[in-house]
């Protein structure tokens, strides 16, 4: 089956007002309201960016989607889940306060920010999926309660999955703490002693205090490590490695299976936007300012998460000669998550682009 992906092109560094107009045009042209019935609770999945992150999707774009969803009769709320790592988003209270401080206020967006996995990230429902890796997955409870979902994803590279886009936003972003733990469960980072300069940067970033200095280099305490990969991303000496070949494959497939769990009983009720603006090597979970790694391309919309992520990869490849994931983490193959998602019935790798003017 060939899925349709709607695309509105935007020149590099287009101003926010034009971007807002563009997402409105895209919303209309792609018939995004087809997933909304009057009085639906509509979960608008966002990522408000970690502290100091300035490249995340701006609240104005989210506000445009919320406004149009309301016009269609929905009762929208913004949502996300608690992170595994300690930061501004690791519990509902801090996450809500942080969302507001990053501009995602009710005044600005027209909708409240309600974390889908409760106060501490463990309000969850177990969903049977009979997947290749998991018979069941643990999903943030409110995602199963809500009637419809719009997933707004910022396309970025990702240190463990290669690509951070719709499938990751669903599978990792809407699973409970236990679901996230299971996705990360095989990642076992190790320090390469001869490369380690003992700069201690990884220690400062590790959310679990799982790194200490031993004999002049960093040492990872396996019993404390949650496999979040932050240390791999911050080490500038490539002194921390994990078995990318097998561990990324597990994480990506597990992510796709968790995405499937999030979509339970939502046939025809979920829509996706991929924002190819301010794209960076790492995802918006990284605190601090990141540099753009590709000129802006535009925004995509589709009812198929596999097709829209494949289109994002292809468009970035057309732009740069190498796709966003390969450009960011060349040793990772983002097609693992896409192919597995297709195999699990989430969507199709075959798509056609419809240009929106
Ligand atoms: S950041 Fe890298 S070089 Fe610095 S202490 Fe950690 S492992 Fe060693
Ligand atoms: S050691 Fe690395 S992967 Fe493990 S918890 Fe710390 S930062 Fe995350």
Residue keyed to tokens 């600005």? 108
Which DSSP string do the residues of 216-284 spell out, in sequence order?
TEEEE-TTT-----HHHHH-TT--EE--HHHHHHHHHHHHHHHHHHHTTT-TT-EEEEEEESS-BSS-T
Helix (H, G, I), strand (E, B) or coil at 11: coil
Residue keyed to tokens 């639906």? 40
Please give the pLDDT value at position 354. Answer: 98
Do the bridges between strand 351-355 and strand 41-45 make them parallel or antiparallel, or are there none, so unpaired?
Answer: unpaired
Question: 190-241 architecture in CATH?
Answer: 2-Layer Sandwich (3.30)
Residue keyed to tokens 């289109």? 311
CB 109 within 8 Å of CB 66 = yes
Quick one: which ligand is closest to 235's CA? 1
Quick one: which ligand is closest to 222's CA? 2
Please give the pLDDT value at position 100. Answer: 97
CB 126 within 8 Å of CB 178 = no
217, 229, 232: which to mutate for ligand 1, most atoms within 8 A of CB? 217
Q: What is the DSSP letter of 2?
A: P
For domain 3-184+246-355, give the CATH superfamily.
Answer: LarA, N-terminal domain (3.40.50.11440)
Write the CB contacts of 36 (distance below 8 Å, at least 6 apart in sequence): 42, 69, 72, 73, 74, 148
CB 68 within 8 Å of CB 32 = yes
What pTM, to 2 d.p., does this model score? 0.89
* Gap from CA of 352 to ligand 2 centroid (Å): 40
218, 229, 234, 242: which to mutate for ligand 1, most atoms within 8 A of CB? 218
Q: What is the DSSP letter of 90?
A: S
CA atoms within 13 A on the CB side of 138: 14
Q: What are phi and psi of 243, to 5 degrees?
A: -75, 85
Please give the pLDDT value at position 177. Answer: 85
Please give the pLDDT value at position 243. Answer: 77
CA atoms within 13 A on the CB side of 207: 17
The number of residues in the chain equals 357
Distance CA 304, CA 148 (A): 14
* Gap from CA of 58 to ligand 2 centroid (Å): 29
Q: Where are the domains of the chain?
A: 3-184+246-355, 190-241
Whether residue 239 has its Cβ less than 6 Å from ligand 1: yes
Nearest CA to ligand 1 atom 3: 196
Distance CA 235, CA 258 (A): 29
Task: Dig out the tokens for 323 from the structure.
Answer: 């796709």
Do the bridges between strand 351-355 and strand 3-9 make them parallel or antiparallel, or are there none, so unpaired?
Answer: parallel
Helix (H, G, I), strand (E, B) or coil at 59: helix
Nearest CA to ligand 1 atom 2: 235
Q: What is the Cα 83 distance to its own chain's centre?
A: 12
Q: What are phi and psi of 278, to 5 degrees?
A: 50, 45
Q: What's the chain's average pLDDT?
A: 95
Residue keyed to tokens 């719709």? 166
CB 123 within 8 Å of CB 81 = no
Distance in Å from the first CA to the final CA of the chain: 25
Please give the pLDDT value at position 241. Answer: 86
| pLDDT per residue as tens, the chain (357 positions) | 899 999 999 999 999 999 999 999 999 999 999 999 999 999 999 999 999 999 999 999 999 999 999 999 999 999 999 988 767 898 999 999 999 999 999 999 999 999 999 998 889 999 999 999 999 999 999 999 999 999 999 999 998 999 999 999 999 999 998 899 899 888 889 999 999 999 999 999 888 899 999 999 999 999 999 888 778 878 889 899 877 667 899 999 999 999 999 999 999 999 999 999 999 999 998 888 999 999 999 999 999 999 999 999 999 999 999 999 999 999 999 999 999 999 999 999 999 999 999
159, 189, 191, 215: which to mutate for ligand 1, most atoms within 8 A of CB? 191
Whether residue 237 has its Cβ less than 6 Å from ligand 1: yes
Quick one: which ligand is closest to 239's CA? 1
Torsion of the alpha carbons at 329, 332, 338 and 343, rounded to the nearest 10: -170
Whether residue 235 has its Cβ less than 6 Å from ligand 1: yes
Q: What is the pLDDT of residues 188-225, one digit of tens each?
A: 899 999 999 999 999 998 888 999 999 999 999 999 99
Question: Quick count: other Cβ atoms within 10 Å of Cβ 301?
Answer: 27
């Amino acid at each position: 089956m060939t899925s349709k992906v709607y695309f509105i092109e935007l020149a590099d560094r287009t101003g926010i007002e034009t971007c807002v107009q563009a997402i409105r045009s895209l919303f209309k042209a792609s018939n995004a309201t087809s997933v909304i019935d009057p009085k639906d609770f509509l979960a608008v999945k966002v990522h408000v960016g970690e502290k100091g992150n300035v490249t995340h999707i701006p609240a104005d774009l989210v506000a445009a989607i919320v406004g149009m969803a309301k016009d269609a009769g929905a009762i929208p709320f913004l949502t996300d889940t608690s992170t595994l790592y300690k930061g501004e988003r690791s519990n509902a209270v801090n996450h809500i306060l942080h969302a507001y401080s990053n501009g995602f206020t009710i005044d600005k967006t027209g909708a409240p920010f309600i974390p889908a996995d409760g106060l501490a990230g463990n309000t969850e429902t177990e969903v049977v999926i009979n997947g290749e890796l998991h018979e069941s997955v643990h999903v943030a409870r409110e995602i199963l309660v809500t009637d419809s979902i719009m997933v707004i994803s910022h396309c970025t590279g990702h240190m463990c999955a290669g690509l951070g886009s719709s499938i990751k936003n669903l599978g990792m972003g809407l699973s409970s703490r236990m679901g996230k733990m299971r996705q990360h469960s095989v990642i076992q980072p190790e320090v390469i002693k001869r490369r380690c300069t003992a700069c201690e940067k990884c220690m400062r970033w590790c959310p679990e205090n799982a790194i200490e200095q031993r004999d002049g280099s960093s040492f990872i305490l396996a019993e404390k490590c949650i496999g979040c990969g932050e240390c791999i991303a911050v080490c500038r000496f490539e002194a921390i490695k994990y078995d990318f070949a097998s561990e990324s494959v597990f994480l990506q497939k597990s992510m796709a299976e968790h995405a499937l769990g999030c979509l339970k009983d939502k046939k025809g009720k979920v829509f996706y936007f991929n924002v190819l603006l301010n794209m960076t090597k790492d995802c918006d979970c990284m605190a601090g300012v990141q540099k753009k790694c590709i000129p802006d391309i535009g925004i995509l919309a589709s009812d198929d998460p596999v097709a829209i992520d494949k289109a994002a990869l292809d468009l970035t490849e057309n732009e740069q000669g190498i796709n966003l994931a390969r450009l960011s983490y060349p040793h990772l193959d983002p097609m693992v998550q896409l192919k597995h998602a297709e195999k699990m019935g989430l969507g199709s790798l075959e798509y056609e682009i419809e240009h929106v003017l």
